[in-house]
A and B are shown apart, each in its own frame.
Chain A
Amino acid sequence: MNFWEFLSARRDQLLTDTYQHASAVFQCMVVATVLGVLIGALTYRNERAAQIAIGSTVTILTVPSYALLGLLIPILGLGVAPTVTALVLYALLPIVRNSIVGLRGVDPSLVEAGRGIGMSRLARLVKVELPIAWPSIMTGIRVSTQMSMGILAIAAYASGPGLGNEIFNGISSLGSANALNQVLAGTLGIVVLALLFDAALALIGRLTTSRGIRG
């Protein structure tokens, strides 16, 4: 059975895995974006708080994903729960860091202008600072998404969803007829998904960034 025959024979299973992979990454990214921007917005004005936020997200990222899942399984069990938790934690760093960098990069005179015309603290954040920092935050989201694509593959170890299962099964049955095809299908699927997501995010970034600050 060559690779193409394998693909058509296993079509349904592969499509389900692909869909689940995409869906998991998407949902985790939504959660990570909300959390990451929130953490960034809460900490960027305080040097110490920002250091702690960046420092702790860096620390999380240095833990090998395999090990993190292993640590989460005793607490959260198998399946979706540890997968989502791990993915969100890993995705935080680029978003938090880019949020802080972006928010700090806003020209202070603009913030002062906002104060001067009577904007409240929240209004300044929502109407001035976040929109101007948005391109930087968006870059963080893109990096995080790419990273999550790969990390989710390892989540199959914790019985998580997605194309990781193909790779995992393939590796565990190496030497059998379709082992290589399985690994190949899973890997290529992830690569294609990653490219599609990145293109979509680039488009979203363009649409959600004001024409006045677009590069």
Chain B
Amino acid sequence: MADAEPDQPTASGAHEAAGAHEATGAPGAKEAAAGAHAATGAHGVTGATIELEELTKIYPGTSQPAVDAISMEINAGETVMLVGPSGSGKSTTLKMINRLIEPTSGRIKIAGEDVTGLDPVKLRRRIGYSIQSSGLFPHMTVAQNIGQVPKMIGWSRSRIKNRVEEMLDLVGLDPREFHDRYPRQLSGGQQQRVGVARALAADPPVLLMDEPFGAVDPITRDHLQDELIRLQRELHKTIVFVTHDFDEAIKLGDRIAVLRERSVIAQFDTPEAILTNPTDDFVSGFVGAGAALKRLNLTRVRDVSAAEVPVFSVDDPLERIFSHLREHGGSELLLLDRRRRPYKWLRRSDLTRARGSLARVGSLVTHTVGREATLRDALEAVLTDSGGRVAITGRHGQYEGVVDMETLMNSVHELLEADRLTAIEHRHDLERLQAADTAARLEGGTQTPGGQE
């Protein structure tokens, strides 16, 4: 533990979000004030701020820089996505943060400390690194792979052992089953999880991810993305994530930096702002068609008001169910099983065939959506459901409400309207800032920012 993160907020083993560490102090606070999106910084942040100042990379023998003076401030505990077409230097930018690629000029600060002159080997042990196709060492077991960095920084054997179990648990792999497996005995998704576990094993405040989910199939990728969201909600690391997949960026990022050639930032803002208010054609081209649809990915079912349908339990007397159906002609009702899980949809027409038992009537509930599902998932489910409505389930599959076309349409309209307002406000803010800036530059000038029309 000798040389491990001397001035990081992450003390030994205190990865649990429970240890209510505040953000790193001065630099973090400053950015939180200036930053557009500091919501994640509120509680249990174990990440550190990252500042890139005029970072440039010119490869020998080329005149054009691969990365041209990129400057960026990343808040503690924030997930920042670097997206851009291939050749935009996003990966080069990422690799300069842990100095896998030495910058030609410029500075990198982590938690306020200038790391540009540090021994790169020691620096990298403080920064988690996860790459495409996991990069696991094939000749080492899962446990040895995960324990690699703790071992290098001199943790004791027993501490490493505990940590490995903890990490496997964290990424959702059963320690007893996977501890002694070799990478080739794992599926692509499992390998990637182990890769993330290895990157996080020494509890680094910063995690760099270089297209980590690029080589897995779409379903697994979706799964891994969900896992990362869950992990990040627990850990609050500072994550810098490179991808060329804009949908992935929207799904995972607190903020997204859209990079054009030579890593010039085209726009650096929240996913909402980029979707509703792209700064130029390059960004809107990259956002692609269907921004409104993509907006659905940003909102979760739990954030919208669910519709209500009458519900009954299978234990309720048949009389009550029947009389309800008789009285409320057109509407459906939802029958829950004994553990309050959605079981069957019943409508009035079922009444005539029931003959004193519900066993043979109604349509079984086949699709449900969780509270954590995106509105896009919900829309998909509603569209494919024959009745045009889907039950929302919470913990242990218990009934929480219903989502239908109408709820979805309403919430999407609300969302887009809200986005439009924020965008307008944002533009006003910018104009005001620029006005203030001009005012300040025109020394002795008498006009006030408020006087601008």
- Chain A residues in the interface with B (C-beta under 8 A): 109-110, 112-120, 123, 127-128, 131-132, 209-213
Contacts and interface: CB of A to CB of B under 8 A. Distances in A.
A153 to B, nearest CB: 38
Contact of B183 (A112, A114, A123, A212): A212
Contact of A132 (B122, B138, B141, B208): B138
25 contacts: A109-B135, A110-B138, A112-B131, A115-B124, A116-B98, A116-B129, A116-B208, A117-B124, A117-B125, A117-B149, A118-B122, A118-B125, A118-B149, A119-B121, A120-B121, A127-B137, A131-B139, A209-B139, A210-B138, A210-B140, A212-B140, A212-B182, A212-B183, A213-B138, A213-B139
Given A109-B133, A212-B182, A132 B139 contact: yes
Given A113-B131, A116-B100, A117-B198, A212 B139 contact: yes
Interface of B: 98, 100, 121-126, 129, 131-133, 135-141, 148-149, 152, 182-184, 198-199, 208
Most B-side CB within 10 Å, residue of A110, A115, A117, A120 = A117
Nearest to B123: A118
B100 A115 contact: yes
Nearest to B135: A113
Nearest to B181: A212
A47 to B, nearest CB: 18
B390 to A, nearest CB: 42
Contacts of B138: 110, 132, 210, 212-213
Contacts of A115: 100, 124
Going nearest first, the 4 A-B pairs with the smallest beta carbon separation are A113-B135, A212-B182, A118-B125, A210-B139
A118 B121 contact: yes
A116 B134 CA distance: 12
Nearest to B198: A117
Given A118-B125, A212-B182, A212-B183, A112 B139 contact: no
B124 A212 contact: no
A118 B184 CA distance: 23
Contacts of A123: 152
Nearest to B149: A117
Most B-side CB within 10 Å, residue of A118, A128, A213 = A118
A201 B21 CA distance: 56
Contacts of A120: 121
A11 B141 CA distance: 50
Most B-side CB within 10 Å, residue of A116, A132, A213 = A116
Most A-side CB within 10 Å, residue of B126, B148, B199 = B148
A182 B132 CA distance: 64
A84 B417 CA distance: 86
A115 B127 CA distance: 12
A109 to B, nearest CB: 6
Given A112-B100, A118-B122, A212 B129 contact: no
Contacts of A132: 137-139
Given A210-B140, A212-B141, A213-B139, A118 B124 contact: yes
A128 B137 contact: yes
Most B-side CB within 10 Å, residue of A113, A119, A131, A209 = A113
A113 B124 CA distance: 11
Contacts of A116: 98, 100, 124, 129, 131, 135, 208
B328 to A, nearest CB: 62
B138 to A, nearest CB: 5
Contacts of B137: 110, 113-114, 127-128, 132
A105 to B, nearest CB: 12
Contacts of A109: 131-133, 135
Given A109-B133, A116-B98, A132-B138, A211 B182 contact: yes
Contacts of B132: 109
B205 to A, nearest CB: 14
A114 B122 CA distance: 13
A127 B137 CA distance: 9
A131 B182 CA distance: 14
Contacts of B152: 117-119, 123
A122 to B, nearest CB: 10
Contacts of B199: 117
Nearest to A135: B139
A211 B180 CA distance: 11
A123 B125 CA distance: 13
A112 B135 contact: yes
Contacts of A117: 124-125, 129, 148-149, 152, 198-199
B155 to A, nearest CB: 14
A137 to B, nearest CB: 13
A135 to B, nearest CB: 10
